[in-house]
Structure 1
């Protein structure tokens, strides 16, 4: 049995189409791997410990960003951390109101230095 020229051309086109599909899949996988490596390179792990201070993201300003509007509330004291990413916060006022939030809504707050603490390394005494 011999194939006509049109049938042979059609088989060649189908084989070429399959090769194009395979190369496209390889290129897509390569681009996704590159994106994952970039993401893993620049992501920072947040680790909170009891006694640290944190700022809480206020999502009500997510859509309406004013020029001088702050999006962070706090600072709050971290009382307890859980393995599932939940963090128990406490207000720093005398009432000590406690509540739970997800750690994705937090960023670490560094306490402000007093003037004496700042100048101590520079003193010659």
Structure 2
């Protein structure tokens, strides 16, 4: 299960638990049902529609006589379901194309905000302190300066400290910042 899907489910469960008080297991099925029948932002279709080729009837519609329920014709409904199943591959393909377009838009939006950074051999940089060690709120997040000794490629650099000791591994540009002296 993806991170964003888990987050949406947890938020849905929290909203329902305010009323249910601790019985989240019983609420999980209704939250999942709600999620599966809500159209996705990138696909424009609900997961239920992409799987079954038709929209689900909301449980509230079963209890309250609606137009769908009052004018239900099983034979006509079966015919429409067969037609929808013939079109479900086209629906999925359209959703896939929308998802690709959505990803492309997100990448372009991200790339507009990102400033390209490049260092040359001899530049002084700060490196991010390893987060494996516990760092307090007010402790420094960067250490250095270090000198760039070699450009490895793909944003990776070899560094040496002020005493001339070369660091044992390359550092990615995301963990480096220019040092202004």
Q: Same fold (TM over 0.5)?
A: yes
Q: TM-score, normalised by structure 2?
A: 0.48
Where does structure 1 lack aligned partners over 5 or more consecutive residues? Answer: 112-125
Distance 1:48 1:107 in 2: 9
RMSD value, Cα = 2.7
Distance 1:98 1:18 in 2: 57
Distance 1:70 1:53 in 2: 18
Match of 2:99 among 22, 28, 31: 28
Tell me the secondary structure at the aligned position of residue 80 of structure 1.
strand
- The higher-RCO structure (CA 8 Å, 6+ apart) is 1
C-alpha distance 15-97 of structure 1, shift in aligned 2 (>3 A)? same
Tell me the secondary structure at the aligned position of residue 170 of structure 2.
strand
* Structure having the larger proportion of residues in strand: 1
Aligned length, in residue pairs: 105
Where does structure 2 lack aligned partners over 5 or more consecutive residues? Answer: 1-74
**What residue in structure 2 maps to residue 89 of structure 1?**
159
**What residue in structure 2 maps to residue 46 of structure 1?**
117
Q: TM-score, normalised by structure 1?
A: 0.65
How far off is 1:5 after superposition? Answer: 5.8
Highest CA radius of gyration, 1 or 2?
1
**What residue in structure 2 maps to residue 119 of structure 1?**
none
Worse-superposed segment, 99-108 or 26-35? 99-108
Distance 1:77 1:21 in 2: 52
